[in-house]
Amino acid sequence: MQEQLKNLHAQALDELGQVHNPRELELWRVRYLGKKSSLTKMLRSLAVLPLEERRKAGAQANAIKRALELSLEEKGRLLEEALLTSPLESQGLDVTLPGRPLSTGRLHPTTQILREICSVFKNMGFQVIEGSDVEWDYYNFEALNIPQHHPARDMFATLWIDAGMGRKARLLRTHTSPMQIRFMERERPPIRVIVPGRVYRYEATDATHESMFYQVEGLAVDKGITLADLKGTLFDFCRCIFGEERKVRFRCDYFPFVEPGVEVAIGCLVCDGAGCRLCGYSGWIEILGAGMVHPDVLARVDINPELYSGFAFGLGVERIHMLRYGIDDIRLFYSNDLRFLRQF
């Protein structure tokens, strides 16, 4: 009996190995675990055996039955898994084939860098405002201490709408600074704003000059604002944009609407101060102009310069992007060649 059970078990496992689909598995189940299977028959026939033998054989037969049931379950799982994966396996993919195309675009590099610049200043509590591109002579020049015939007008080659009309002449703003006046005309300190926008110059274009580019103007006015605050603000900005280790330099410079005036330069990104073509062998790259708002400018908008002080700055946007990526021709920005735009 015992020998018989053993053989049965071996035979059942052997046949289970030959099973390849659920239908065969069902047949196997009927054959070995069904009501008419030899195992069931054997279990029924135990009743005729003496007690001792019956107990022994019964235990063995039940053990084999449980083992076969487990094997059945296991085989069932295997078959199910095989059923799910095998058709796919047989049609394996060339995973190196290109994916199905999705149309995606990008933002213009100027927009990208503008967003970055604005977010740095927003985090410092500056609000973003915008001004108009076409301005009066008064806002672009006169209110900023650059009256008619002032030599500093040479610093701003101007595209005019009206020529020779004095302060009522219209022009394309040469800087974002007119918004300093417009904002201070309607708001009182504390003031903390930035003004991104397009500016225009009467300039023949070449690799480093464009007739249109973007600036971000900054203005902060309140009691007790100092040149040291300007330094802190702009050093923070440079660190955020150019990295922790980038050296930053403040030097005296002249803009008619600030006093003292400042130019900010960063250590050259190519030579790191050793001197190269990019930095004109100076080791430094100018990135923005700034200074303390001129007392005459404050007085002009009825802010008492003896009580209040403030700083202003203006930075060129494309230049920052150019420095970062080593782009040597500013004309690439607004000729909008996709082969350029898609790189950023």
Partner 1 sequence: MKVSLKWLEDYVDIKLAPEELAERLTIAGLEVGNIQTIGSTWDNVVIGEVIALNPHPNAERLKLATVNLGTEQVTTVCGAPNISLGQRVTFAHIGARLIDAHTGETILLKSAKIRGIVSEGMVCSEKELGLSDNHEEILVLPPEAPIGAALGDYLGDVIFDLDVTPNRPDCLSIISIAREIAALTGEPLRLPSIHWKELGESIDSFVSVDIADPDACPRYCASLITGIKIVSSPGWLQQRLNSCGMRPINNVVDVTNYVMLEYGQPLHAFDYHKLKGRQIIVRRAGNGETITTIDGTKHALTPDILVIADKEEAVAVAGIMGGLDSEVTDKTDTILLESANFNQATIRRGCSHLQLQSEASIRFDKGLNSELPLLPLKRATQLLLELAGDRAARGIIDVYPGKSEPKLILLTAREVKRLTGLKLNIDEIRKVLEALGFECQEGDSGSQISVSAPYWRGDIKCSADLVEEVVRIIGYEKIPITRLGSPLPQQESQLSPVAQQSNIKEKLRNILPGLGFQEILTYSLVSLEKLQKLSPKLELKIPPLKVANPMTREQEFLRTSLRAGLLSTLAHNQKFEQAGIRLFEIGKVFLPRGKDLPEEKEMLCAVLSSSRLELSWHTDKEMLDFFDAKAVVENLLNQLGLKASFNIGDDEILLPGRGANIIVEDDKVGIVGDVHPRVMQAFELSNNICLIEIDLKKLLTRLTRTKEYHPISRFPAVTRDIALVIDEQVNYRSVENIIQSFPLVTQITLFDLYRGKQIPEGKKSFAIRIIYQSPSHTLTDEEVDRTQEQMLNRLYQELGATLRD
Smallest distance from the beta carbon of 20 to partner 1, in angstroms? 35
Question: Which residue, chain included where needed, has tokens 């915008």?
Answer: 130
Whose Cβ is closer to partner 1: residue 46's or residue 129's? 129
Q: How far apart are CA 195 and CA 197, in angstroms?
A: 6
Q: Which two tokens stand for residue 221?
A: 């006015």
Smallest distance from the beta carbon of 90 to partner 1, in angstroms? 22
Residues 173-212 that bind partner 1 (CB under 8 A): 187, 189-192, 198, 200, 202-205, 211-212
Whose Cβ is closer to partner 1: residue 110's or residue 177's? 110
The only residue of 26, 116, 142, 296 in contact with partner 1, by rule CB under 8 A: 296
* Amino acid letter for position 301: V
Give me the torsion for CA of 87, 92, 98, 102, rounded to 10°.
20
Whose Cβ is closer to partner 1: residue 78's or residue 307's? 307
Q: Does residue number 103 form part of the binding site for partner 1 (CB under 8 A)?
A: yes
Nearest 5°: CA angle at 158, between 237 and 127?
30
Backbone φ/ψ region at 229: left (φ over 0), alpha (ψ -120 to 50), beta: alpha
The only residue of 77, 251, 277, 331 in contact with partner 1, by rule CB under 8 A: 251
Whose Cβ is closer to partner 1: residue 14's or residue 154's? 154
The only residue of 34, 46, 111, 247 in contact with partner 1, by rule CB under 8 A: 111
Smallest distance from the beta carbon of 202 to partner 1, in angstroms? 6
Q: How far apart are CA 343 and CA 324, in angstroms?
A: 13
How far CA 317 is from CA of 93, 103, 152, 209, 328, in Å, comes to 47, 28, 23, 13, 14
Whose Cβ is closer to partner 1: residue 26's or residue 236's? 236
Q: Which of 309, 282, 314, 256 is nearest to 121 (CA)?
A: 314
Smallest distance from the beta carbon of 192 to partner 1, in angstroms? 5
Q: Does residue number 154 form part of the binding site for partner 1 (CB under 8 A)?
A: yes
Q: Which of 213, 298, 304, 302 is nearest to 259 (CA)?
A: 298
Site string for partner 1, 9-48 (x = CB under 8 A): ----------------------------------------
Q: Does residue number 329 form part of the binding site for partner 1 (CB under 8 A)?
A: no
Whose Cβ is closer to partner 1: residue 76's or residue 275's? 275
What is 262-323 written as a DSSP string?
EEEEEE-TTTTTS--TTTTTSSEEEEEEEEEEPHHHHHHTT--TTT-EEEEEEEEHHHHHHH
Residues 212-231 that bind partner 1 (CB under 8 A): 212, 220, 222-229, 231
Whose Cβ is closer to partner 1: residue 41's or residue 342's? 342
